[in-house]
Amino acid sequence: MSFTSTQLLIFHLGLEIVDSPSDEHPEWEIPPVVDLATSFAEETETSELQILLKDMCHIITSLYNILITIQYERTGNLLDLEAAINYAEEAVAATPEDHPNRAGLLNKLGVNLISRYKETGNLQDLEAAINYAEEAMAATPEDHPARAAYMNDLGNYLRSRYERLGNLQDLDAAIARSETAVEATPEDHHGRAGLLKNLGVCLSRRYGRTGYMQDLETAINYTEEAMAATPEDHPARAAYMNDLGNYLRSRYERLGNLQDLEAAIARLNAVMETIPEEHHSRAGLLNNLGVCLSMRYERTGYLGDLEAAITRLEAGVKTTPEDHPNRAGLLNNLGVCLSRRYERTANLQDLEAAINYTEEAMAATPEEQPDRAGLLNNLGSHLSRRYERAGNLQDLEAAIASSEAALKAMPEDHPDRARWLNKLGLYLSRRYDRTGNLKDLDAAIASSEAAVEATPEDHPDRARQLHNLDSHLSRRYERTGNLLDLEAAINYAEEAMAATPEHHPTRAAYMNDLGNYLRSRYERLGNLQDLDAAIAQSEAAMEATLENHPSRAGLLNNLGVSLSRRYELLGNMQDLEAAIARSERAVEAIPQNHPSRAGLLNNLGVCLSRRYERTGTLEDLEAAIAKLDAAVETTPEGHPNRARQLDNLSSYLRSRYERTGDFQDLVAAINYTEEAVAATPQDHPSFAELLEKLAGLRRTQSTC
């Protein structure tokens, strides 16, 4: 028997084993066969037979690696993967460096190591896979038909290292390898579509890092080309449609064109129809569709989209085994959507579930996994929202700790670092609101400035980061009266507006804040043009927001405040009536148990008290007191806004005492002012004013 026929016999035997179910030969163990053949080869004196037997050992070991790998892919059992790696290493060790099969064996070993890296997050496996892929490349002639595939694999590994360590050079190298692989592959080659897909993935990652729009457009083009080259019934087509949907979603996030988001949802829905219920990729598709539906909810305010997003993500979690590496991502996204529903409905169960799911995702993610920082970041967001609802400072402290841990866990040049610096700034700003500690506000501004500085001017995140920075500067202006902070806030707000397309869903929020800052400058300098511009910005924000959008109540409230200020300046009763009408609509538009409702009730009470001062209608004063009563009742004792609400309620009760002479109103006014003083830090700018007011009330009481 010749070497060739022997090899063919063994090869076909291996194919039969591969094609047969794994339980058909439970007693058939290939390794002992290898050991026996090796022993026989060492004992025989015939060199030709030794070569033959060693060649057989090499082929059998390689085949066994393939079989075990297939078994791992079927079962997900890490022990099978460990065995596959062991046999792949044996095959490489047994193969001379100049053997024509060595490159393929090195490549296969790299594939197995990457699979283990995805399971365990062990960076050594990723580094080894890259080294083996580079060695395979070096051992493969330029014109070899397998070279493009090896080049593609190397590009994928370099992209994985970029995703872990954030080194942009790895991503650039991955793109270069993928481009070379595509160029080396004929247009009609059956593997070209897969290469185009991988190149698209790399380009989309670079877009996510740099914000360079051409990368995203090219990723879309390559993925569309991959789809065009793939038959309708090809099993890989669903993956290409899924990627295309994700890239269209990214373009929507950048440009705000709703057609892109609609197209993304359509692609993902089409994929879902072609994927069987039990398909391994179904959970991932449910995840991506859920994310897109959640984004459409944010744009339109249609609660049905958010409900559908939650349903899709719940189904994805349900179909994903507890030990699956993708489960944590599904749990995380489900938590984000539940947190959004909480913002809309104020159902505390949703927020508690969001926290629980995110904590479960963290428990399933090893400490060294790069995704853990993102989970810590989202957990901080949910805890911060619970703080806003209940006023428990421990939640805010935990949010800050989670955010700081997320930043500590990532490299300085990581693409998400700017985003998380931005989040930390938000939490520090909230702690300042609670404690009045100016150091927190200064730290918030420093974090936001670092986020802006680390973000390219044309990056899609830059506008949001500018928006948060201008908010922190505005707060510091309110504390210190430094007009430079207010001017900087206005400049940053205008820059955020300029960086945001006209029809982008976040533009209304930026216009609203700019209106607030212009109103503050009017209050400082008295320039009516600033107040008119503030009202114009608020009205434009209203026009850009759908009637049923969850942010509409806040926009109505801010417009009401600006109209009230103009009334105070000009005395035009129409402005005050319009302010009251807007404030009433804001209160009607927000759920009864929403954490922001108390603030809207407070502002409506202020407007009603102004009308009482103008007309003397006692009903307005009674209504103002009722609104402030409701605001105080729904605001937790430790909440930073409670002191201001108590102060306003005290003022209106004093006004009613002055009108009616009811001594109980004066006593209640004193009690509420005492409570406001107790709730205000001694270094807070309003503390002295509250003490003076309390002293005045007690003097009045002493004369009765």
**What is the C-alpha to C-alpha distance for residues 214 and 226, in angstroms, rounded to an integer?**
18
How many CB atoms are closer than 10 A to CB 132? 28
pLDDT higher than threshold 70 for residue 11 = no
372-419 pLDDT per residue, tens: 888 998 999 999 999 988 889 999 999 999 999 888 877 777 777 898
Identify the weakest region by mean pLDDT among 27-31, 77-81, 221-225, 667-671.
27-31
Residue 303's pLDDT is 92
Whole-structure pTM over 0.95, yes or no? no
Residue 69 pLDDT: 55
Give every CB contact of residue 274 below 8 A, 6+ residues apart in sequence: 237, 238
Give 555's pLDDT tier (boundaries 50, 70, 90).
very high
pLDDT at 72: 53
Nearest to 350 by CA among 340, 342, 361: 342
**What are the residue boundaries of the structural domains of the chain, listed by start?**
276-410
Return the axis-axis angle of helices 192-210 and 147-165, rounded to nearest 10°: 20
Residue 14's pLDDT is 46
Highest mean pLDDT among 16-25, 45-54, 395-404: 395-404
164-219 pLDDT, tens digit each: 887 889 999 999 999 999 999 999 998 999 999 999 999 999 998 888 899 999 99
More confident residue, 557 or 44: 557
What is the token pair recorded at 346?
Answer: 């104020």
User: What is the pLDDT, as a whole number, of residue 527?
Assistant: 95
CA 363, 367, 369, 374: dihedral to nearest 10 degrees?
A: 70
Q: Which residue's entry shows tokens 């794994």? A: 22
pLDDT band at 5 (very low <50, low <70, confident <90, very high): very low
Residue 684, token pair as written in the block: 């807070």
659 vs 456, more confident:
659
Q: Over pLDDT 90: what percentage of the chain?
A: 61
Whole-angstrom Cα distance, residue 311 to residue 333? 12
**334, 264, 340, 350: which is closest to 302 by C-alpha?**
340
- The per-residue pLDDT for 6 is 46
679 or 391, greater pLDDT: 679
Give the pLDDT confidence score for residue 7 in this predicted structure: 44
Asked if residue 1 has pLDDT above 70, the reply is no
- pLDDT score for 12: 43
In this structure, are residues 172 and 193 in contact, taking their beta carbons and an 8 Å threshold?
no
Mean pLDDT of 325-345: 93
Task: Look at phi and psi of residue 121 and say left if phi exceeds 0, alpha if psi is from -120 to 50, else beta.
Answer: left
| CATH topology classification for 276-410 | 1.25.40
**Contact status, residue 600 vs residue 557, Cβ threshold 8 Å:** yes
The stretch 31-50 carries a mean pLDDT of: 46
Q: How confident is the model at residue 9 (pLDDT cuts 50, 70, 90)?
A: very low
* pLDDT of 318: 94
* Ramachandran assignment for 466, one of left (phi > 0), alpha (psi -120 to 50 degrees), beta (any other): alpha
d(CA 587, CA 600): 6
Q: Are 151 and 180 in contact (CB under 8 A)?
A: yes
524 and 483 Cβ atoms separated by less than 8 Å = yes
Res 26 pLDDT > 60:
no
The encoded tokens of residue 415 equal: 């693409």
Residue 406 CB partners (closer than 8 Å, separation 6+): 373, 374, 376, 377, 380, 420
Sign of the alpha-carbon dihedral angle for 214, 218, 224, 228: positive
The predicted structure's pLDDT at residue 154: 94
The residue with greater pLDDT, 468 or 372, is 468
pLDDT at 374: 86
The model's confidence at residue 62, banded by pLDDT at 50, 70 and 90, is: low
Question: At 437, is the secondary structure helix, strand, or coil?
Answer: coil
For the segment 515-538, the average pLDDT, to the nearest whole number, is 95
Q: What angle do CA 373, 378, 441 make, to 5 degrees?
A: 95
Residue of higher predicted confidence among 633 and 546:
633
Distance CA 222, CA 244 (A): 9
- Asked if 230 and 204 touch (Cβ cutoff 8 Å), the reply is no
The whole-number average pLDDT for the span 117-136 is 91
Most confident of 58-62, 489-493, 519-523: 489-493
Which tokens belong to 281? 């990729």
Both tokens assigned to 243: 């990627």
The pLDDT value recorded for residue 60 is 52
Per-residue model confidence as pLDDT tens digits over 222-260:
999 999 999 988 888 888 999 999 999 999 988 888 999
Tell me: pLDDT of 2 over 50. Answer: no
User: C-alpha angle 58/61/66, rounded to 5°?
Assistant: 125
509: helix, coil or strand?
helix
- 558's tokens: 């801010």
Computed from CA positions of residues 110, 116, 119, 123, in that sequence, does the dihedral angle turn out positive or negative? Answer: negative
Of the candidates 693, 564, 551, the one whose C-alpha atom is nearest the C-alpha of residue 624 is 564
Least confident of 4-8, 111-115, 345-349, 520-524: 4-8
Percent of the chain whose pLDDT exceeds 70: 89
User: At 601, is the pLDDT very low, low, confident or very high (cuts 50, 70, 90)?
Assistant: very high
Task: State which amino acid sits at residue 563.
Answer: L
Length of the chain: 704
Find, among 369, 460, 476, the residue nearest to 419 by Cα: 460
Residue pointed to by tokens 């990214």 = 250
- Statement: residue 649 has pLDDT above 90: yes
Q: For residue range 574-589, list pLDDT tens digits in order.
A: 999 999 999 999 999 9
- Are residues 298 and 285 in contact, defined by beta-carbon separation less than 8 angstroms? no
Q: Which two tokens stand for residue 111?
A: 């594939």
Q: What is the pLDDT of residues 411-466, one digit of tens each?
A: 777 777 898 899 999 999 999 988 889 999 999 999 999 999 998 888 878 999 99
